[in-house]
Amino acid sequence: MSYDLLSNADQESQHYHLDSIWYADTQNEIFQSLMQAMSRPGSIHNLESRLGKSNTVTAVLATLSDAQVTACNHDSLITDEDWSLSQCQTVSADKAGYIVCDGSLPCSINPSQGSLVSPELSGTVIVSVKKLANELTATSQDDRLWRLSGPGVDGVIDVGVSGIDSSWIHQRENWNSEFPLGVDLIVVSETSVLALPRTTKVECLT
Amino acid sequence: MSGLDHNSICTNEDIGGRAGWTSALMALPRKQLVSTVDEIAKEFNVRLIALPASGLGMLKFKDSALEQSFFLGEFPLATASVELTLTDGRQIQGAAQIMEDDSSYATSLAIADAVLAHKVSGYEGLKALVQLGKQKILREQAIRNSMLTRTKVDFSLLSMTDGDDDEL
């Protein structure tokens, strides 16, 4: 079945409350932000005005998912109700198109890195962190300052990520060591999103 | 949770099997159902189990000669699946899958399905609508049957004149 998403106009005279992230217009806006984030690694996009009562992780998953998408709610960050609405097919992390993880925990997944024929069939990891900023002073051991370079970055760009375990960047290096195979990361904070495609080089400054 | 599985067949002595409720309600004017459900839904907290969707379903068929699958055609399809929380905290479920391109209408029918299946507040009003709808379907069926009967041809009369042409 091919189907149409609920449009924001459908919110009128409904019997139920559905957060704005489940409507097509909002998802289009979030998708635009994700496209920008992917094409300009290191750029931080604020989604706060589009979230309603939902969190950023759910909003990103809602935007990317439909009944054809395979996903893994690895650290149970998405509630059962929202997971049901996303219509994702639940699979294990190594088979999932999208894996939702808590960045504060050590990385314990092994996503698909695609194949040489179809590197696009790799998994994309949505990592939840505490905070994203263009500059961040390290105040705790989970605060990182990353220097990014590569396609889409004008020279280098520094980003601060708070609340991410150091194992994530080490694992990412392993996953992306045999280009074009690799794993793309979407890092989300409470309000913002940043993307790390497999082509982006990340240097940990702290 | 006292909700029924969406696919389970439930029979109600007053209005027959669950499978017939939605078609009976759809036989009535849309506004009549929607306004009734609007009133009933005020008493519940309605939660979507899945996003209401509308679009096109594809009908797959196998040709009889080569046994190869092909798409016979497409049809409008809308689906909705809801969970109602009652004032006493109980949760009940209902669903609808209709050949219409209107997910909002499907949601109204899914709410009606839940109410009818569990005989909760609003049941009597919807039961009356289902009975009205069933009567309307029966009337329409009777008209169709009579039209069909009138198109029947008695070929036995042809055999009485069989061979007349040869004699001429």
Please enumerate in sequence order all residues whose Cβ is within 8 A of that of A105, keeping only pairs 6 or more positions apart, or say none: A75, A165
Instruction: State pLDDT tens for residues A145-198.
Output: 999 999 999 999 999 999 999 999 999 999 999 999 999 999 999 999 999 999
- Smallest Cβ–Cβ distance between A6 and the set B46, B47, B103 belongs to B103
Average pLDDT, chain B: 87
Per the CB < 8 Å rule, is B50 touching A84?
Answer: yes
User: Does residue B167 register a pLDDT over 60?
Assistant: no
Residues of chain A with Cβ-Cβ distance to B104 below 8 Å are 10, 13-14
Residues of chain A with Cβ-Cβ distance to B77 below 8 Å are 1, 3
Number of structural domains chain B divides into: 1
* Whole-angstrom distance, CA of residue A144 vs CA of residue A165: 9
A66–chain B Cβ distance below 8 A for any pair: no
**In this structure, are strands A98-102 and B16-17 parallel, antiparallel, or unpaired?**
unpaired
Least confident of A45-59, B112-126, B152-166: B152-166
- The residue with greater pLDDT, A9 or B54, is B54
pLDDT tier for residue A2 given thresholds of 50, 70 and 90 = low
pLDDT tier for residue B18 given thresholds of 50, 70 and 90 = confident
Residue B24 lies in a domain: yes
Domain spans, chain A: 8-204
Per the CB < 8 Å rule, is B53 touching A1?
Answer: yes
Residues of chain A with Cβ-Cβ distance to B103 below 8 Å are 4, 6, 10
- Smallest Cβ–Cβ distance between B55 and the set A3, A84, A87 belongs to A3
Residues of chain A with Cβ-Cβ distance to B37 below 8 Å are 15
On whether the CB atoms of residues B85 and B91 are closer than 8 A, the answer is: yes
- Smallest Cβ–Cβ distance between A2 and the set B47, B48, B55 belongs to B55
User: Does residue A3 register a pLDDT over 70?
Assistant: no
Q: What is the mean pLDDT of residues A47-76?
A: 95
One-letter amino acid of B71: F
Q: What is the 3-state secondary structure (H, E, C) of B44-79?
A: CEEEEEEEEEEEEEEEEEECCCCCCEEEEEEEEEEE
Instruction: State pLDDT tens for residues A118-148.
Output: 999 999 999 999 999 987 666 677 789 999 9
A35–chain B Cβ distance below 8 A for any pair: no
Please provide the CATH number assigned to the domain covering A8-204: 3.40.50.11310
Residue B59 lies in a domain: yes
| DSSP per-residue codes, chain B | --PPPTT---EETTTEEGGGHHHHHHTS-HHHHHHHHHHHHTTSEEEEEEEEEEEEEEEEEE-TTT--EEEEEEEEEEEEEEEEE-TTS-EEEEEEEESSS-HHHHHHHHHHHHHHHHT-TTHHHHHHHHHHHHHHHHHHHHHHHHHHHHT---THHHHHTTTHHHH-
Number of Cβ pairs < 8 A linking chain A and chain B: 53
The CATH number for B30's domain is: 3.30.390
Instruction: State pLDDT tens for residues A15-58.
Output: 777 899 999 999 999 999 999 999 999 999 999 999 989 999 99
pLDDT of residue B14: 75
pLDDT of residue A142: 75
Per the CB < 8 Å rule, is A1 touching B56?
Answer: yes
Residue B148 lies in a domain: no
pTM for the model? 0.80
Domain that holds residue B30: 11-135
User: Does residue A64 register a pLDDT over 50?
Assistant: yes
